[in-house]
Structure 1
Amino acid sequence: MAKNPGGRDEVADVLIIGAGASGSVAAAHLAKAGFSVVCLEQGRKIDASEYFGDKPEWEVTSQKQWHPNPNVRDLDTDYPINTDESDVNPLMYNAVGGSTILYAAHWQRFIPSDFRVKTMDGIADDWPFTYEDLAPFYDQMEEEMGVSGLSGDPAYPAGKAPPLPPLPINKIGRKAAEGMNKLGWHWWPSPNSIPSKPYRGRNACVRRGTCLTGCPEKAKASMDLVYWPDAIADGARLITGARVSKIETNEQGLATGAIYVDRSGRERRQRANVVIMCANSIGTTRLLLLSATGKASNGLGNSSGLLGRNLMMHPYAAVNGLFDEPMESWLGPSGQVIHSMEFAESDPSRGFLRGGKWQVMPSGGPLGLRAGYSGKALDDAWGANFHKNTLRTFGRSFEWGIIAEDLPEYENRVVLDSTLTDSDGIPSPKILYRNAENTRKLLDFHVARAREAMEAAGAIEISHTSLMRDCGWHLMGTARMGNDPETSVVDQWCRSHDVPNLYIMDGSTFVTSSSANPTATITAIALRATKHMIANRRNQEVAA
C-alpha cells in the first residue's frame, strides 16, 4: 500500500469525506494501520488563537461568526439549508474537527435499553448489536479523548472508569443536586471530554465557560487536536476547502472516489478503493442523493428507499431557575456539570414512550448562554432593561436542559432542495421535520418535572422554553443500520448493503436516538467499524 499518495491522480486505499468526529477517528486508526488515507474536508483548519472565548467581545461574536446555525453564520465554508418545513434548526460546523469545534463536549454513553427499543417497548427497531458489544469501544474512546468523569453511575452497567477525575460541579451543580436529593431523583457528576488536568499534550480546563465557541486553551477534546496531528504524522493526507459534489462509481456499481471543487473553483477528482462518508446525517445524505446514477436513480446506496428518512435531531427544552444568592453561574464548563437519567427509561403510564436526559448547564455571561442561538429577539433586553436585568440575574441562575429521545419517523427526512444551492452551485439540502405527538407529550412531562426540581432547589423564579428552535446539534438516523437490506441502508459494520466498498460512519447509521448526547456513540461505532475494516482488509471488494 502507498503510505502517502503523492498526487491527486493516485488511488488512495481509503477516501474519507469529512474531518469531523467519525472521520477523524477513522483516519487516525486507518493511517496507523498502514492504509493510505485521503480526507476531503470542505472547511478549514482553525487555530485556537482565532477563538474569542478569552476576549471581551466573546458574547457578541457568538451571535454571528461562531453561531452554530450555518444559515446564520453563513461562512464560505457553509452550505445553506432549507428549514422552512422543520420544527428545529440543524446545527453544525464545517472545519477540521467538524462540530466538535463548537460542541459542549458532553461525553455520554447510551444506556443498554437504547439498543433494544423494539424489544423493550414494541416500537421502532432494535440495533444489530448491543450495549455490551459496544462497551469496549466506548472504553477506548474515553481513553483517547481524555474524558473526565466519575465511575459508578447507577444509571449504567459497571465498567471501566474514565481516565481523568471529574470536573468540579460548581455551585450550580451542588444547588441542583440539593433539589434532586429532596425529591429522591438520580443525579451524577457528568462526564465530559474536557481534561480536568493536563492530558496527552492538552491543557487542563480553566473553566472559562466558552466551550460552545471554541476552546482558546486547547483543552477541550476537539478532533483537530486529538486525532489529526497523529493521523498526518502517520501519512494521512488532509485536503481542506474541498467541497464534494459527487461520489463516483463504476459500471459494476462500486465506489471509485469523489469529485470535489477546491477553493479556486476548480473541479478535481480523488480516486480511492474505499469511500467512507462522515459528513453528518444531512451532509452525507445530500452527497449520496447527489450521487444518483442510472442504476441507483434514488441515490447511491438507496435500494431500500430509506436514505434520508427517519431523521432524528433531539428536540431540546430548557428550564431556567433564578436564585437569591450568588451562584457563579458563568463558570465552565459550559456543558453539563451534573446530569440526571431519572426519566430516561420508558414508563407507559406517563402516556408516552421512551425518555429524556437532563443536564445542568451554567447561564453564562451577561447576554446569557442561549443568546447566540435561542431564536428569540434580544431587543427587549437592551438599554435600561439590560442593566437592570443584569444586576438582578447575572451569576444567579442555571438551566436544567432536557434532551428528548427522538423516535424515528418515516416522514422526517432530508431531501435535495429544488432551487437552493451553495456558493459552488451544488444543490443544498432541505429538512422536513415535525415533532410527533409522543415527543410533545414527553417534553411536557419533562418540563413539568424539571420545574419541580427547580422548586425543590429553592429557585425564586422559574421560566422554561418548551422547544428550542436552534437545538439540532444531534443529527441521526438518515442511513440506518440493520441486517436486512430491505429495511436498512448499511450493515452493523457501517458498510452499504448496495455498494460493498462504501461505508457510512457518522450519526446517519443510528437506528434510534437515545436521549444521550450522541458523539460518544458515533465515535465508538466508527472505531468498531474501522477496526473491523482493518481486520478484514484482505476481503474488501474494490473496483478493478
Structure 2
Amino acid sequence: MSSPDILIIGSGMGGATLAAALAPSGRKITILERGETLQDCPEARDPKAVFTGFFNPKESWQDAAGGSFQPNNYYHPGGNSKFYGAVLMRYRAQDFSPLRHMGGTAPGWPITYDAFEPDYQAAEEMYQVRGALGQDPTEPAHSGDYAFGPVPHEPDMLDLCRRLQAQGLHPSALPLGVDIDLWLKGGAQTFDGFPNTRGGKMDAESIGLAQALRHPNVTLLTGAKVTRLLTEGRQVTGVAFEKDGVAQVISAALVCLCAGAVKSATLLLASGGALHPEGLANSSDQVGRNFMNHNITAVLGVSPFRRNRSVYEKTIQLNDWYLTGGPKGEPLGNVQMLGRITGEIMAAESGLPLWVSRWLADHSVHLMTMSEDLPNPESRVFLRDGKIVLQWQRSNWQAHLALNAKLAAVLKRAGWPVVLQKTFEKRTPSHQCGTARMGDDPRTSVVDPWCRAHDLDNLRIVDASVLPTSGAANPSLTVAAVALRVARDILARG
C-alpha cells in the first residue's frame, strides 16, 4: 500500500470535515474507517429496531464496577453523526472563558470565541445550517447570517412557543442541519436518533465525506480497524490496522487521529511501549482523563386535554437559563425539543404497553434539558485487560436538577399539568468529549491549540476528545469548526 501525505483515522464529524477542507490542496489523503457504509433497510425507519439496538455495534464496554453495557457508538462512514439529531449549535461566547457553575468552574479554552468565530461561520455554511439570528439573547456574535432559514415549527410547536413567550421566555429556532422536505420524503418520522439512509440530514458522510471524495487524491478505506500507532522517537512511523482479517501497516508524513473521544483515547493508551509506558501523547497523564458527558434529562409535559400532532417536533430551543438561573446567578443549561416521541418509540424505550405509550406520546410535548459536565481528571476512559472501561463521574448535578425544576414549572403554567422526567443513563455515552484536552501547557494537556500532540511531531488529534469544556451545547458544530481551523493551519504550514 502506497503512503499518503496525510492519513486520517476515523470519518466522523472531525475526520470527514478535516478531509473535506484538505482535499482541494491536492495532497494524497487516505481515510481509515472501521465500519462499512450504512445501507438503507426497512429497520432504518422502524422505531422498535432503532431504539432497541438494531444498529448498535456488537461490542461491549465496562463500567468502573466491572459491569458491561452496549454503547451507543456507531462505526460507519459518518460515525455517530449518521444518527444525530442534526443540532449544529455554537457554544456561547462565555464558554470560551472561565465560567463559574454551581458545581465548580469551567476552565475555558486556550483560544477566544472571537478567534474561533470564523471557523464556526465556515462550519455553518459547509453543513448548510438552518437557523435564525435575533431570537436568542444568548446567541454569540455571528460574522454572517445563516444561509438557510430555520426549519419551520409545526402548528403545535408554534403554540408551545407562544405559551413560553407569554411567560417572558425567549424560545428560538434550533439550528439544524436538515432539509426537512427531503427527510420527510423518506417517511413521516422525526430525524432525531434515526439513521440518515434516505437523505435529508447534513451529516459527516453526506456533507464532509461527499465533498472530500469528489477529489481523486482522497481515498476512503472502509472495514479498516486501527489497532495501534507505531512510533520512533517523536514520530508516528506507521498505523497498524486490520482489514478482511489481514494485518496491515500504513505510514504517512502526517497522521490525524479522529476516532472520537473514547476510541481516540483508548487507541493512544493501547499504543504505548517501552518509551511510552503510559500510552502515546501522554506525558501529561491526561489521555483518557477529563471525560465529559452532558447531564441530560428527557422532560415530558403531559395533558389529557391537549394533543400533540407534530411529526418531527425538534425545532425549538430555550436558552434563558444557559448563562444564569442558579441561586447566585450560575448557569443552568440549555433546553431543546427532543425529536417527536411516538408510542412505538416510547414502548421500545420504556417497556410500557403500546396503548399506554401511544396515549402518553400523543398527549405530551417532548423536551430535554442539558447541563454542562465539568472536566474532572478522575472521570475517565481506560483499558482493563484490553477492554474499554468508562468511569464517568457526574458533575454539576445540582445545576441540572435546578434546570429540570424550572422547566417543569414553566410547562405546568403553560398548560401541561403533569411533568415526567427520565435522566439519560449514567453509563450511556452522550456528547462524549474531553479525553485529549487542548491547552497551552504540555504538563496539563494533550494537544496544543492547533490540535498538535505535544509529545509527537506529526500527530494531530481532531475530534471531540480535544474539547477543553463541554458547554451546554451539542458538540457537532464545534468539532467541525475545530477541524476547519486545524485544516487551515496544516495548509498554512505547507
> Paired residue for 1:50?
41
8 Å contact kept, 1:245–1:287: yes
Report the 3-state secondary structure (helix = DSSP H, G, I; strand = E; otherwise coil) of the residue aligned with 2:450.
Answer: coil
> Paired residue for 2:30?
38
Alignment partner of 2:50 out of 62, 67, 77: 62
| Match runs of 1:72-83 below 5 Å | 73-75=56-58, 79-83=59-63
Query: What per-residue deviation string (whole Å, max 9, x for no partner) do you get for residues 381-440 of structure 1?
Result: 23xxx32552x334221222011100001100010022xxxxxxxx2310111213xx22
The 1:118–1:327 alpha-carbon spacing in structure 2 relative to 1, beyond 3 Å, is closer
Offset at residue 83 of structure 1 (A)? 2.5
Offset at residue 171 of structure 1 (A)? 3.3
Offset at residue 125 of structure 1 (A)? 1.9
The worse-fitting range, judged by mean Cα deviation, of 451-460 and 358-367 is 358-367
The 1:86–1:175 alpha-carbon spacing in structure 2 relative to 1, beyond 3 Å, is farther
> Paired residue for 1:156?
139
Alignment partner of 2:367 out of 396, 400, 415: 400
Report the 3-state secondary structure (helix = DSSP H, G, I; strand = E; otherwise coil) of the residue aligned with 1:255.
Answer: strand
State yes or no: 1:141 paired with 2:141.
no
In structure 2, distance between residues paired with 1:462 and 1:355: 19
Alignment partner of 1:254 out of 224, 231, 235: 235
Unaligned runs of 5+ in 1: 1-7, 68-72, 419-426, 538-544
> Paired residue for 2:383?
416
Offset at residue 531 of structure 1 (A)? 1.0
1:156 maps to a residue whose letter is: E
In structure 1, distance between residues paired with 2:478 and 2:447: 17
> Paired residue for 1:130?
112
Offset at residue 246 of structure 1 (A)? 0.4
The 1:464–1:394 alpha-carbon spacing in structure 2 relative to 1, beyond 3 Å, is closer
What is the aligned residue count?
Answer: 488
1:535 maps to a residue whose letter is: A
> Paired residue for 1:429?
388
Alignment partner of 1:387 out of 343, 346, 355: 355
Offset at residue 64 of structure 1 (A)? 3.9
State yes or no: 1:276 paired with 2:260.
no
In structure 2, distance between residues paired with 1:270 and 1:113: 42
> Paired residue for 2:466?
509
Query: What per-residue deviation string (whole Å, max 9, x for no partner) do you get for residues 16-65 of structure 1?
Result: 11011110011122121111111111111123x326355xxx01211445
Alignment partner of 2:270 out of 278, 290, 297: 290
Alignment partner of 1:313 out of 293, 299, 312: 293
Offset at residue 347 of structure 1 (A)? 5.5
> Paired residue for 2:165?
181
8 Å contact kept, 2:13–2:81: yes
The 1:338–1:138 alpha-carbon spacing in structure 2 relative to 1, beyond 3 Å, is same
1:46 maps to a residue whose letter is: L
Alignment partner of 1:357 out of 316, 334, 340: 334
Report the 3-state secondary structure (helix = DSSP H, G, I; strand = E; otherwise coil) of the residue aligned with 1:213.
Answer: coil
> Paired residue for 2:176?
192
In structure 1, distance between residues paired with 2:36 and 2:254: 24
Offset at residue 150 of structure 1 (A)? 1.1
Offset at residue 460 of structure 1 (A)? 3.6
Offset at residue 86 of structure 1 (A)? 9.7
Offset at residue 363 of structure 1 (A)? 3.8
Unaligned runs of 5+ in 2: none
2:163 maps to a residue whose letter is: G
Query: What per-residue deviation string (whole Å, max 9, x for no partner) do you get for residues 221-279 of structure 1?
Result: 122111223322312111111111101112x22012200011x2111111111111111
- Root mean square deviation, CA, Å: 2.5
1:100 maps to a residue whose letter is: S
In structure 2, distance between residues paired with 1:240 and 1:23: 14
In structure 2, distance between residues paired with 1:176 and 1:472: 30
In structure 2, distance between residues paired with 1:95 and 1:219: 17
> Paired residue for 2:7?
15
> Paired residue for 1:541?
none
8 Å contact kept, 2:180–2:200: no
Offset at residue 107 of structure 1 (A)? 0.8
Report the 3-state secondary structure (helix = DSSP H, G, I; strand = E; otherwise coil) of the residue aligned with 2:338.
Answer: strand
The 1:345–1:297 alpha-carbon spacing in structure 2 relative to 1, beyond 3 Å, is same
| Match runs of 1:88-103 below 5 Å | 91-103=72-84
| Match runs of 1:321-360 below 5 Å | 321-323=301-303, 324-329=305-310, 331-332=311-312, 336-346=314-324, 349-350=327-328, 353-360=330-337
Could you tell me the TM-score, scaled by structure 2's length? 0.92
The 1:103–1:362 alpha-carbon spacing in structure 2 relative to 1, beyond 3 Å, is closer
In structure 1, distance between residues paired with 2:318 and 2:86: 17
The worse-fitting range, judged by mean Cα deviation, of 307-316 and 89-98 is 89-98
> Paired residue for 2:406?
449
Report the 3-state secondary structure (helix = DSSP H, G, I; strand = E; otherwise coil) of the residue aligned with 1:52.
Answer: helix
1:361 maps to a residue whose letter is: L
